[in-house]
Structure 1
């Protein structure tokens, strides 16, 4: 597995991984309406290309296959962190998190934090994150429950 920065032309593949993973993995903890506002079916190319130019996510690949990706903001916020639904439990998330923690340490950050899905809580706990509080995010008129989690570096 290779972990590297996003390359030009990968925005659509990353969005597809996010969309499919949210709709397949998170359906046990969220309603259909919540999943649709979280990961809409329409690919908004200008939005995602612009976002990824700004955030420079890490991607995990095996050959030409995209296995996962993660974003790390300057303040230590992990905004997006997804592993392909067909490759969960194979160490991909662990590899991405180790890279994020190393990058955060190199930047002099003291903590990482995220608003994780209910589904992702066990993963983040296994990576040393602690639950802080539950929050409700409003997206397009729908409230989605997320968990604020943080980890000291």
Structure 2
């Protein structure tokens, strides 16, 4: 497995992994209407390309197969963190998190935080994040519950 920064032309595969993982993994904790506003079926390529130019996410690759990806903002916020729905439990998320933590440390960040899904909360806790509070995000007129979580180095 290789972990590196996104390359040109990979945006569509990242969006597909995001969409499919949300709809297949998070369905245990969220309603169909919540999933639909969280990860809509329409791929807005200009929006995603613009986002990834700004955030430059890390991707985990097995040859040409995308295993997962993660974004780290300059202030330590992890916005998107996803592992392919068929490859969860294989250590891919752990490896991505180790790289995020190393990247954060190299930028002098001692705090990472995220608004994790209910489904992802156990993973983040296993990565030494602490749950601070439950929140609701507004997405296209629907409320989606998340957990504000924090890691301190």
Coarse TM-score class (shorter-chain normalised): over 0.9
Per the alignment, residue 118 of structure 1 pairs with: 118
TM-score (norm 2): 1.00
Helix, strand or coil at the partner of 1:85:
coil
Taking the aligned partners of 1:128 and 1:122, their CA distance within structure 2 comes to 10
Taking the aligned partners of 1:72 and 1:113, their CA distance within structure 2 comes to 9
TM-score (norm 1): 1.00
Q: Which runs of 5+ in 1 are unaligned?
A: none
Per the alignment, residue 22 of structure 2 pairs with: 22
Q: Map of 1:39-54 to 2, 5 A cutoff? A: 39-54=39-54
- Offset at residue 77 of structure 1 (A): 0.1
Helix, strand or coil at the partner of 1:87:
coil
- Offset at residue 110 of structure 1 (A): 1.2
- Residues 37-58 of structure 1 show CA distances to partners (whole Å, capped at 9, x for unaligned) of 0000010000000000000000
Taking the aligned partners of 2:119 and 2:35, their CA distance within structure 1 comes to 12
Taking the aligned partners of 1:137 and 1:152, their CA distance within structure 2 comes to 24
Per the alignment, residue 106 of structure 1 pairs with: 106
- Offset at residue 25 of structure 1 (A): 0.1
Q: Which runs of 5+ in 2 are unaligned?
A: none
